[in-house]
């Protein structure tokens, strides 16, 4: 009796005047809290999936999943979303391309396939002629260069059509050894 009177008096001093009103305020606050959380999750999912796929159908499905099923959809989305973002995929592709280019830029002796340096005139392994020295400055010249980049010497027109030594696959049976006069056109 005393206890219930005390509780009633205490509750009546709360804002709203009665415990029903207090409960209603609490309920509204809870609903607002859940609504904000729900809307934030939907927005977060929208932003997150756009960073992971360009497929508009997949984006739509993921957003609808979280919009309709709330936390359950959010957990399912977290489990099934693409692991990498588009930016990560782009970075990785760029890295791989750079690595590939570095690999291709490494010079290989066409005769013995050993790695050779750019400034080698002959292969130290099999003594294959790789480049010719420039007639004026003696620096190594690639066969495909029409001029010497070091001293500006110009190759005579007849020799400019010579095929590249480095990239050409050597076939001694069908090609004459003197390839400098083997103009293609």
Catalog residues that contact Zn ion under the rule CB under 5 A.
Answer: 109, 111-112, 123, 125-126, 128, 134, 136-137, 148, 150-151, 153
Q: 147 vs 183, which CB is nearer to Zn ion?
A: 147
Q: 128 vs 144, which CB is nearer to Zn ion?
A: 128
Q: 18 vs 114, which CB is nearer to Zn ion?
A: 114
Q: How far is the CB of 130 from Zn ion (least distance, A)?
A: 8
Listing DSSP states for 118-167 in one string gives TT-SB-TTT--B--EE-TTT--EE-TT-SB-TTT-PBPPHHHHTPPPTTT
- Taking the mean position of all CA atoms in its chain, how far away is CA 175? 43
Residues 6+ apart with CB under 8 A from 164: 142, 143, 144
Q: 66 vs 165, which CB is nearer to Zn ion?
A: 165
Q: How far is the CB of 112 from Zn ion (least distance, A)?
A: 3
Q: Which helix (H) or strand (E) holds 14?
A: none
Q: Under a CB-based contact definition with an 8 Å cutoff, are residues 70 and 51 in contact?
A: no
Q: How far is the CB of 138 from Zn ion (least distance, A)?
A: 7
124 bridge partner residues: none
Q: How far is the CB of 137 from Zn ion (least distance, A)?
A: 3
């Amino acid at each position: 009796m005393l206890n219930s009177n005390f509780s009633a008096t205490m509750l009546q001093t709360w804002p709203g005047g009665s415990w029903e009103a207090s409960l209603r305020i609490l309920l509204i606050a809870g609903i607002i809290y859940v609504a904000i959380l729900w809307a934030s999750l939907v927005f977060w999912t929208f932003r997150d999936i756009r960073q992971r796929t360009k497929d508009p159908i997949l984006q739509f499905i993921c957003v609808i999943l979280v919009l309709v099923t709330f936390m359950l959809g959010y957990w399912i989305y977290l489990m099934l979303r693409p692991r990498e973002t588009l930016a990560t995929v782009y970075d990785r592709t760029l890295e791989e391309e750079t690595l590939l280019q570095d690999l291709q830029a490494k010079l290989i002796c066409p005769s013995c396939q050993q790695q050779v340096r750019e400034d080698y005139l002959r292969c130290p392994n099999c003594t294959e002629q790789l480049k010719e020295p420039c007639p004026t400055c003696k620096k190594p010249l690639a066969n495909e260069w029409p001029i010497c980049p070091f001293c500006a010497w110009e190759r005579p027109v007849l020799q400019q059509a010579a095929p590249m030594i480095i990239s050409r696959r050597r076939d001694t049976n069908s090609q004459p050894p003197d390839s400098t006069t083997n103009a293609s056109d």
